[in-house]
Structure 1
Amino acid sequence: MEYQYPIDYHWTTDEIVDVIKFYEAIERAYEKGIERDELLTIYRRFKEIVPSKAEEKTLCGEFEDISGYSSYRVIKKAKDLSSGDNIMMKQ
C-alpha cells in the first residue's frame, strides 16, 4: 500500500519503528494472517509508546481512514482467541 503511517514526530526513531511494526502487523492480519501471540507482543510495545486510550484511538482511526484496516477489530479478535491461534481478518 502507498500511504504514510500516522506517527508522532516527538517519538524516538526506535519508537517510530515499533509503531510502524504495529501498523504492519494489523495489515498482515488482513492480508496474510498473523499469529495471535506475536500480534499481542507487538501491541504491548505499541501501548508502551502510546499509553493514552485517546491517543491510541486517534492514531488507529487515522490508520483506518488511510488503510481501511481496523486496529480495534484486530486487537479485539486477538484478545478473544487462544494462545497459538492465527488471526485472519476479512475486509
Structure 2
Amino acid sequence: MANYGYPIDEDWSHEEITLVINFLNQVEAANESGVEAEDFLKSYQKFKTVVKSIGEEKRIGREFEEVSGYSIYRTLQQAKKTTAKRFKM
C-alpha cells in the first residue's frame, strides 16, 4: 500500500473517517493481494453509511483513483459478480 493522502471530508467524525479509510484499504487490498468478497461488501455497506450520495461516492472514487490508480467502481463490480470466496483484481 502506497503512501498518499485519502480523499476525506473534514466534516466527518473520527468514526466516519475510520469507516471510509477501512473501505479504501479494502479496495487497495483487493487490487494488490486479494480479499474476501463478503468482507469487502460489508466494508462497502459501512462506507455507504458515511458517503450516502452517488455524486459524493463518484467524487471520492475519482480522487482515490487519481492518487492510487485503483477504481472503487470496478473493484466493487468485481466483488458483486464473483462467485468465489476471495477475489483479486
1:9 matched to which residue of 2? 10
Q: Residue in 2 aligned with 1:86?
A: 86
Q: Which runs of 4+ in 1 moved over 4 A?
A: none
Once the two structures are superposed, residues 33-88 of structure 1 have per-residue CA deviations (whole angstroms, 9 ceiling, x without a partner) of 00000000000000010010000000011000000001100100111123x52110
Query: Could you tell me the TM-score, scaled by structure 1's length?
Result: 0.93
Q: How many residues align?
A: 88
CA–CA separation in structure 1 for the residues paired with 2:87 and 2:65: 18
Instruction: Output aligned runs, 1:8-27, within 5 Å.
Output: 8-27=9-28
For residue 14 of structure 1, report the CA deviation from its aligned partner. 0.5
Q: Distance in 1 between matches of 2:49 and 2:14?
A: 15
RMSD between superposed Cα atoms in Å: 0.9
Q: Which runs of 5+ in 1 are unaligned?
A: none
Identity %: 42
User: Does 1:62 pair with 2:63?
Assistant: yes
Which 5+ residue runs of structure 2 have no aligned equivalent? none
